[in-house]
Structure 1
Amino acid sequence: MTLAKTAAPNTVASAGQTVTYFYVVTNTGNVTLDNVSAADLSFSGSGTPPVITCPATSLAPQASTTCTGDYTVTQADIDAGSIVNTATASGTQPSGAVTESNASTATVTATADSALTLAKTAAPDTVTSAGQTVTYSHAVTNTGNVTLTSVHVTEMSFSGSGTPPVITCGVTTLAPQESTMCTGDYTVIQADIDAGS
């Protein structure tokens, strides 16, 4: 017997998508096989492996059946970059001996699309004297489809004459669509008042 395994779709981009695996089992021998089934030998997905069902469990010589199983993609799968699934099929001969197929592998590629947005504000946005504290708030959002680690904010330019703010973030790991607020305080000095901004 032979097994040919495929997956549809073979490319995914977000958690929650459904992948359907197709297991085409063919009796290439000369005796009828009963108890025909397909089983996953290895599965790299982090979620619940697919439950495989076969429309026919008895195959005459040269007959085929297509077994199927659905899998729900997880965020860990997207982060990993792929889902690899290897399966085999088996059937029982009239003599009671078990016939096994070749192993067949289907790989689903997870397309990574990383992106971040930043929205920055200052409070207060007007100061009148040296010694006042300005708090800069940076709203960071992961707008991509992969988990991001080591999230941080870096000042590209700062016109203040005093010590630039030290920015700290509430969390440094963001799953897709998650946000964190990063803040830093600055103490106004007289040169800032003189400069006007």
Structure 2
Amino acid sequence: GNVTVTNIIVTDPLVTVTGGPIDLVPGAIDATTFVAEYVLTQEDVDAGMVENQALATGQNPNGDDVEDTSDDDSTVEGDDDITITDLPEDPGMIAIVKTGTFNDEDGDGFAQAGETITYNFTVTNTGNVTVANIIVTDPLVTVTGGPIDLVPGAIDATTFVADYVLTQEDVDAGMVENQALATGQNPSGDDVEDTSDDDSIEEGDDDVTITDLPEDPGTIAIVKTGTFNDEDGDGFAQVGETITYNFTVTNT
């Protein structure tokens, strides 16, 4: 304008602005008096930006109020664009750890076909944005639980669980091994995923989960029976007649 504006202050609904009030003669510019700091929330980080506007108010020589809503880059009257501060975004990261526990249902200390393994899955948000709609899939079992959302740093070790029924092939192998996959979406809707590790959430650690089974060393039993063959039919044994032996072997 062409008159001095006095008692100029700046207010902002997002922050507390320090500095002022000041007076400005026509054409004067002040770029140092008013300042404010804003502490980011998780919602801001997830949004990838912060946007808002400030208001400058003062009085002309007649005592009337003079004001302007902030623009982001222009002093032209009527340019009142909201200030948008873009934030560098992490694409989102999750980590999954899968553990297996053998259940010795018959209590004999060894694994048999039909007994089970209980799998537990621990999912951690290792990035800086919220990951939503997280599910866990596993080619070996049907995983129950979920979907869930995790904010950065959050850990869930209780939602996802699965049981696996041992086969004879598993018992013979003495172990069961496989991996699970955790998937979710970052705030932009992009997929975020991780293949399970057996004990680590470090990126790149994707070791297969191996559940060892207590092995019976193996036992067999043999029964031997003998039958006399009375070849000449006289009802008595003679030299030269025979006995037939039969052997029955059982895997016990």
Contact 2:103 2:115 in 1 (8 A): no
- Tell me the equivalent position of 1:147: 130
Q: Is 1:108 aligned to residue 78 of structure 2?
A: no
> Percent identity between the aligned chains?
35
Structure 1 residues 135 and 125: CA distance shift in structure 2, 3 A: same
Distance 1:172 1:102 in 2: 41
Query: Relative contact order (alpha carbons < 8 A, sep ≥ 6): 1 or 2 greater?
Result: 1
Q: What's the offset of the Cα at 1:168?
A: 2.9
Contact 1:115 1:142 in 2 (8 A): yes
Structure 2, unpaired ranges of 5+: 73-82, 105-109, 176-252
Q: What's the offset of the Cα at 1:87?
A: 2.3
Q: What's the offset of the Cα at 1:131?
A: 2.4
Amino acid at match of 1:112: E
- Tell me the equivalent position of 2:119: 136
- In structure 1, which of residues 167, 171, 189 is the aligned counterpart of residue 143 of structure 2? 167
Distance 2:24 2:69 in 1: 17
- Tell me the equivalent position of 1:122: 100
- In structure 2, which of residues 20, 39, 42 is the aligned counterpart of residue 75 of structure 1? 42
Question: Pairwise mapping of residues 29-108 of structure 1 onto structure 2 (< 5 A)?
Answer: 29-40=1-12, 49-65=14-30, 66-101=33-68, 103-105=70-72, 106-108=83-85
Amino acid at match of 1:187: V
SS of equivalent residue, structure 1 residue 193: helix
SS of equivalent residue, structure 1 residue 89: strand
Provide the TM-score with structure 1 as the length reference: 0.68
Q: What's the offset of the Cα at 1:129?
A: 0.7
Amino acid at match of 2:135: H
Structure 1 runs of 4+ off > 4 angstroms?
none
Q: What's the offset of the Cα at 1:89?
A: 1.5
- Tell me the equivalent position of 1:180: 156
Q: What's the offset of the Cα at 1:53?
A: 2.3
- How big is the alpha-carbon RMSD for the aligned residues of Structure 1 and Structure 2? 2.4
Distance 2:50 2:17 in 1: 17
SS of equivalent residue, structure 1 residue 30: coil
Distance 1:103 1:190 in 2: 74
Distance 2:115 2:50 in 1: 54
SS of equivalent residue, structure 1 residue 50: coil
Count residues in correspondence: 155
What per-residue deviation string (whole Å, max 9, x for no partner) do you get for residues 89-138 of structure 1? 22101112222235313211123210011111111399611222211112
Distance 1:35 1:172 in 2: 52
Distance 2:129 2:87 in 1: 10
Contact 1:88 1:104 in 2 (8 A): no
Distance 2:131 2:144 in 1: 16
Distance 2:168 2:154 in 1: 39
Structure 1 residues 52 and 183: CA distance shift in structure 2, 3 A: same
State which drifts further: 53-62 or 110-119: 53-62
Amino acid at match of 2:161: T
